[in-house]
Structure 1
Amino acid sequence: MAKLESNLRYILKADEIKILLFLVLGLSFVSIFTMLCYNCNPFLYNFVTLLLLISAYLLSCIIIFWERHS
């Protein structure tokens, strides 16, 4: 497990973490915008919920990784 964490430390650098954070923020904004504009379609509501869950999961992974390695 320690070897995997040390490999992750070299793979994920600060610039890549920033890119992932922008990806999470972009997914969140697209999700909220879609929910506000198309709130009557159940398929889009499920799609937006899925996007929000994915962005929350990615953000929690980034925060956990950042706390462990900073």
Structure 2
Amino acid sequence: MAGGNPKHFNLQDDPFELFLLGEGEKKIEEKVFSGMSNTSDFVLMKEDHTLGNLLAEHLKAHPNVYMAGYKSK
């Protein structure tokens, strides 16, 4: 985005920047957490609390998942 607070959308900015990925940008990336087995962080690009909460709640309903959460930047 052009300037100011990146969480705020300015009228002069391209609205498609909010959800369209740039060249070479991946929608989802897994970062394996080496401190604990079977643990990963998943980075979702250009998403917000809507998808984060939906995924976390769905994962927590699975019997083999002990913890799921999200944070939004």
Fold similarity call, TM over 0.5: no
**Structure with more strand by fraction:** 2
TM-score, with length taken from structure 2:
0.34
1 or 2, which has the higher helix percentage?
Answer: 1
TM-score, scaled to structure 1: 0.35
Larger relative contact order (Cα-Cα within 8 Å, sequence gap ≥ 6): 1
